[in-house]
Structure 1
Amino acid sequence: MKDSKKLGINTTCVHVGEVKDKQFKGAVSPIYMATSYAFDNVDVKRYPRYYNTPNQEMLCKKIAALENTEDALIFSSGMAAISSAMLAFLKRGDHVVIQQVIYGGTYNFIVSEFDKYGIEYSFTESDKVEDFIPLVKENTKILYIETPSNPLLGITDMQAIADVAKENEILTMIDNTFASPINQNPYNFGIDIIIHSATKYMGGHSDISAGAIAASAAHIEQIWKTAINLGGNLSEQTVWLLERSLKTLNLRVKAQTENAKIMADYLEANSNIDAVYYPGLKSNPGFEIAAKQMEDFGAMLSFELSENIDPMEFQRNLQLIKSSMSLAGLESTTVSPAQTTHALLSEEQRLERGIKDGLIRFSVGIEESEDLIADIEQAIKKAKI
């Protein structure tokens, strides 16, 4: 087959990393459900927890091709990927600098677990590279970023972060979930390790839980050594479903992204909305950096309802758009970050990060935009106090 890095994006999604059905010549990958494989007279001693069953192995090739990296690993959740990546490179006495506004689960993992391991950490004041530099110490091992960030869609300059890290011989990690490999490839900007909650755009149908890491072969090898001890491997059924879902990744994400641009423009012009957070808006402070490092601006946005609109009543009255905990499915969904993704933070901590009670995170699906607009309009009318 032609070099996967030279294949078109749809061709990569469909064909790279498929398991060949040599027996029956089926059009889709066969699924190998075995949890026990031969160990004698074999090229590879396979075991599910070692991330090397046939379906796992081939799916990793597809994810690596999508992120332009040498290798990849898949996990049972995004948090399994995040924790495995961090713990693979951190030990007692090490230090990590983390972007302030990140996914609440990541924040909770750091503040709940790192002290037990004797790992030091510092949070930046913003997503600007200038805030990372003074926090770097002699024992700093990782700069961790998330761009666009959850839930305010903040934009961090990946090239600038990578440059600072290389000057100080520090590793860089990014949560690339919101952008997906379709809209952003951090490896091209010098970021070392790319992490995804594959539950989201990679899965795309709101029916599987998974995580992924893409990086150099050497970095994946080090993560693998830790991951096999933590046991965050993915079941074969889910591996097969994820490979199926990735075939339409580009088609889905492009359609969702186009819808999100329309919705962002509509919301910005709506007098019942106080603020809209979307990197594709020229009014957004991160617009220029996003335009430089993203292929397109993504399908996630957030907006703040005016104070005379009850945020929970607004969501209860939505008829097409679902009020739902997760994101990135084909269907449009909303969520209140203050009550879900960032509920583990105190009110003071949430407000420090700009997360108000009226903030709504909006994952835009593939429905017609005029139907989504009509749904929001009727929900606003019913939710006015």
Structure 2
Amino acid sequence: MKKNIGINTICAHVGAVEDEQFRGAVSPLYMSSSYAFQDIDEKRYPRYFNTPNQQALSKKIAALEHTEAGMIFGSGMAAISHCLMAFLQAGDHVIFQQTLYGGTYNFATSQLEKYGISYSFTKGWQVEDFEKELRPNTKIIYIETPSNPLLTITDMSAVASLAKNKGVITMIDNTFASPINQNPADFEIDIMIHSATKYMGGHSDICAGAVAASKQHIEQLWSSSICFGGSLSDQTTWMLERSLKTMGLRVKAQTENALKLARKLDAEGDISRVFYPGLESHPDHELAKSQMNGFGAMLSFELDEALDAELFMKSLKLIKASMSLAGVESTVTSPVLTSHSLMSPEDRQKQGIRDGLIRFSVGIEEDEDLMYDIQQALEVVKSKTALV
């Protein structure tokens, strides 16, 4: 195999388990939770992240993110919490980006102080905002770009440069972009984290997390993770490896759809705001162009103030109102009621997350069908609003 292979070749071939017995085309699944320990090179145990399927999939994750090594976990939050706890100890300080997934925000505010770890949130997402929060005991800068749910864009190179000058580790939640649309390691970010439930899984049927980094960082992560027990079952590991084979094709189609939908929604009179970095009107459009391969398949929008967002979601016929994202089917959700429900109304307001915000995960359906569904739902809402 040549050295610089394409993304779809990586998805299809790297990190497969060779079927040496029957030479099947797909990876065999090893379900054992108990392996031999005598006269062998490596003692395998599922909680040690080193079963055949776990190890193979970790190689694919690393290849996709242009790093030396990878690990897989039982969920996105397992990946996030394991990473933070592996590199922090009592007395340390971590900086979090202001615009952040609600689960990460809740972990920081409800758990870190129990362990004597301090934290702060930036006032914005420019490099100056991170610099203002630096302290002598800062160990980690944690970013998310594009962010959930407002699709803000953070300058990865600038943050990485700031961190390296101070000896600080950088971590990024790269879930929204996926490795198809963005590779933060190319911009000197240290540790990439994913909810693999989303674009890596892509079919709304598994729960998993993934981390990619240097061998040194993965070794440190592994040494603490074996104590926390957030490993992924081999059945789900096999399913995730299967799903990753089509990630490049799926995400490309979804990304192309999202740009079409964002432009149509932006021109729709009943929609007041659209948040999508692919729009020229997005304040960080040029930055997104410089560090992303595509603008992603996630967007958010707000209806006109007179229209009921919850009724709108109930009126959709094709697009599903659903809590998660990134499946091949299009879904919408209310961040206030789901992903950011654990945040206080005041903290949501600081991030700019209003009650009427709708997060839209664009699938692979024809964009004309999706827009028709949105327009018919808008008509339902307007007709019922007129009767009130």
TM-score by length of 1: 0.99
Partner of 2:2: 2
Deviations 1:274-318 (A, max 9, x none): 100000001001101100000010000000111111111100010
- For 1:187 and 1:266, how far apart are their aligned partners in 2? 33
Within the alignment, does 1:324 sit opposite 2:322 as a pair?
Answer: yes
Instruction: Please show how residues 189-268 of structure 1 align to structure 2 within 5 Å.
Output: 189-268=187-266
Deviations 1:343-363 (A, max 9, x none): 111111111111111100000
Within the alignment, does 1:53 sit opposite 2:38 as a pair?
Answer: no
Deviations 1:172-214 (A, max 9, x none): 0000000000000000000000000000000000000000000
Kindly provide the amino acid, as one letter, of the partner of residue 13 in structure 2: H
Moved over 3 A (4+): none
* SS, match of residue 135 in structure 2: coil
Within the alignment, does 1:338 sit opposite 2:363 as a pair?
Answer: no
- For 1:101 and 1:157, how far apart are their aligned partners in 2? 14
Instruction: Please show how residues 264-283 of structure 1 align to structure 2 within 5 Å.
Output: 264-283=262-281
1:8 is displaced (CA, Å) by 1.1
* SS, match of residue 317 in structure 2: coil
Partner of 2:69: 71
Partner of 1:148: 146
Identity %: 64
Partner of 1:36: 34
- For 1:346 and 1:187, how far apart are their aligned partners in 2? 33
1:352 to 350, 356, 367: 350
- For 2:343 and 2:48, how far apart are their aligned partners in 1? 35
- For 1:92 and 1:352, how far apart are their aligned partners in 2? 28
* SS, match of residue 280 in structure 2: coil
* SS, match of residue 163 in structure 1: helix
- For 1:27 and 1:349, how far apart are their aligned partners in 2? 50
* SS, match of residue 138 in structure 1: coil
Q: Which runs of 5+ in 1 are unaligned?
A: none
* SS, match of residue 161 in structure 2: helix
Kindly provide the amino acid, as one letter, of the partner of residue 187 in structure 1: A
* SS, match of residue 211 in structure 2: strand
Partner of 1:21: 19
Partner of 2:112: 114
- For 1:2 and 1:74, how far apart are their aligned partners in 2? 26
Partner of 1:126: 124
- For 1:263 and 1:46, how far apart are their aligned partners in 2? 47
Kindly provide the amino acid, as one letter, of the partner of residue 58 in structure 1: A
- For 2:64 and 2:116, how far apart are their aligned partners in 1? 36
1:296 to 294, 297, 310: 294
* SS, match of residue 33 in structure 2: coil
Deviations 1:51-73 (A, max 9, x none): 00000000000010000000000
Kindly provide the amino acid, as one letter, of the partner of residue 7 in structure 1: I
- For 1:287 and 1:208, how far apart are their aligned partners in 2? 32
* SS, match of residue 354 in structure 2: coil
- For 1:335 and 1:130, how far apart are their aligned partners in 2? 32
- For 2:347 and 2:63, how far apart are their aligned partners in 1? 38
Which range is displaced more, 331-340 or 345-354? Answer: 345-354
- For 2:315 and 2:295, how far apart are their aligned partners in 1? 28
- For 1:31 and 1:324, how far apart are their aligned partners in 2? 31
* SS, match of residue 162 in structure 1: helix
Deviations 1:93-144 (A, max 9, x none): 0000100110000000000000100100010011111101011010000000
* SS, match of residue 336 in structure 2: helix
* SS, match of residue 382 in structure 1: helix
1:2 is displaced (CA, Å) by 3.2
For this pair of structures, how many residues does the alignment match? 383
1:76 is displaced (CA, Å) by 0.4
TM-score by length of 2: 0.98
- For 1:347 and 1:161, how far apart are their aligned partners in 2? 29
- For 2:125 and 2:331, how far apart are their aligned partners in 1? 26
Partner of 1:383: 381
Q: Which runs of 5+ in 2 are unaligned?
A: none
Kindly provide the amino acid, as one letter, of the partner of residue 48 in structure 2: Y
Within the alignment, does 1:96 sit opposite 2:94 as a pair?
Answer: yes
What is the RMSD computed on CA atoms of the aligned residues? 0.6
Kindly provide the amino acid, as one letter, of the partner of residue 225 in structure 1: S
Deviations 1:256-291 (A, max 9, x none): 000000000001101111100000001001101100
* SS, match of residue 214 in structure 1: strand
Partner of 1:86: 84
